Structure 1
Amino acid sequence: MNNIGSIMGGLIGAISNANNVSTEKIKELKILTMNEVFNELKEKINKYNELSRNTENLGLNNSEVAKIEEEIRSLKAKIDELNSSIEGKSKIEKMKMTLNITSIESEITLKEMDLEEEKKKAKKDYDSRIQSSNKKIEDTKKEIESFIKVTEESLEKIVKNLSKKEEINNFKLTTLQEQGLNKLGLSVSDLSGIKLTNTELWLLEKLSNYSDEGVKNFNIVGLNNISMGINIRKSDDLKLYLKKFINIKNNKIAKEKLIEGTDLEETKKYYDNIMKVELLNLENIEKEEVRITGEEKKKLEIKKEAIENKINTVNEMVDEMIKEVIKEELKKREIVIPSFVPVTKYFNAPNEEE
């Protein structure tokens, strides 16, 4: 029975590998708006400021120390009182008073030992509270820096999402594969750093034959490839094979929500309109470069350089636009970026005069 179980397990594993289907689930991502970004940033900065104030106001817990010090002063006052009244007393009375003074002095000695212990305890407690408070401050500082960094990276990827068509990892999409990708609501730029299996590449090509609506609703059945072990009989089967693309699209939608309803939407439109034209011009020049030589090629190189310079300038301009939008929002919401935050691209960018 165990052997049969092992064989079946091996077969199931082989089928899974042949299909190139992982057990990763389709991810539903939290959508964060720009308003929520600023609110969360302000909350984190307020938390940092409060922790800093609390740390500055931390002091030694001297209540027990003060109590013992008061007891010692009281005992010393008793000794002074006894010493001042010892004159004129009989010998026996003087001896009694001396014994009393000696007893009080012993008590003072013990109290002073207690006092030193309490001072050590108070110092240890103070150091512990300072250490704990400093750790919370450092953790909050890291949170703020990380939050700003991640937000800036997301903003740049959303607003400046178009890039030159070039090889992705070790493969290049065919025209049909790219069409299939577009029908899924994705572009080549969305696959940056993503590795695709042969199954996924085959599916992209097949999707190019179907309507946008059909692909959007995964209303495609009957896609079969015996050698790849693919047999799609219902929309859920297709979703299983396309879950990598679905996750990329969900992530893209969530990120785009970040700039929805803000001036950055217009910034993105401005960027897209220019870059679509210039990237296409660049692509056409590079195709033509392969076929010509001599003076004509030199002319193309000059045109190519001019386009590349324009693309670089547009990127710089859009960075400035994003920076200005962030600067205005921070000012409007009275958010002051703490001094410990290093210079960043948008949220803590240096002033022009700097």
Structure 2
Amino acid sequence: MQKSTFRLFLILLVVLTIAFVAKANPAEYLNNPTFTGDITGWTVVYDVQGAGSIAYDGTYYHGGTAGSLKGVTGVAKGSVMQGYAWQSIGTEINLDDVVKLSLQWSKRSVVSTASGINILKAEITRPSLPDDWVEIWRCDESLPLVDGATAWTGPSELDVSDFFDETGSYKFRWYFDLKSGNNNSAQAIAWFDTTSLDVSAGVSLTCDFSTTTASFGELTTSVVSTAYGSTTINVISADTVFIKVQDDGDGVDPGLWKSSATTDLIGSANEASGNTATLEAGTEGYGMQATSTNEGSGAEFTIAVRYDYASTTNTVGGFEITDVTMASTTGAVTNRRVIMYYKAAINASNVMGSYSDTITYTCSMSE
């Protein structure tokens, strides 16, 4: 009987998802963020003032802080007020810091429903472009009903870190864009209160991969083969680590894929795409084994049950088209390592030719 032989290639796609988490207590970076007693620390500027104004309001405010920042148009039909209260942030922000925005806002229409969009915004300038304002938040575009202020609302600890992508000094402003309704006695009003810009130092994650390719060479029906080129991941992290694995397969099912005619898939972990399989010569299957080493320090890696098999055996864990957690820790690690081995077997029905697969590893600090 003629022996079937195959040349199989394995491509490992290394994807690092670096997550940042706050490890220190966050610090408030705005001066007088709750407008208690006045708006000291804020400079008011108008793009279009008309008869409107931006000022302290000691009569309408959120929570226990006595005071808010109030923007108001003139009393007139279609009166427009566009302006802002701004300040320079006194402490430098680093590009890997965690920055969270909190605020409460409210709107009101007087006599006639306000016109236009009546928008409230939070904006910053970056260190490299100190005159270019960038929007990091805006309220919804609803128009308040006549004479009834909307309930206080707003985001709490909204993560805006992506906007602070340079290290240096930033400016911050609260922006009013208001227009009164269609009545000579109409007026549009809006408020900011209970604001904050909390900043805390971020910690990073490093995952170094030993290789991005591996090869089975030629496979035959007489043996279970181990790929030339295992993968080692060396991890340094100041917090928990989760390593996930995802397989491309044929786009529908995981496995080693022969994309040229006649197409064929060597299933993972077996022909039926089972979670695990003990590979045997002459029986189709493909998968991975993972183990952690004693090197490094800190929390130890826990290998997922699916992949926790010794490389001296032929029992493997199957891949999935979607992410599956392969290894994780419960705390910080320094130079801890995980090693992955790849094994495959074929049967006489598998089509001769060249097979390949792409495996994606994702390394992150949150599950």
Fold agreement, TM-score > 0.5: no
Superposition TM-score, scaled by structure 2 size: 0.21
Q: Considering fraction of residues, name the structure with more helix.
A: 1
The structure whose residues are more often strand, as a share, is: 2
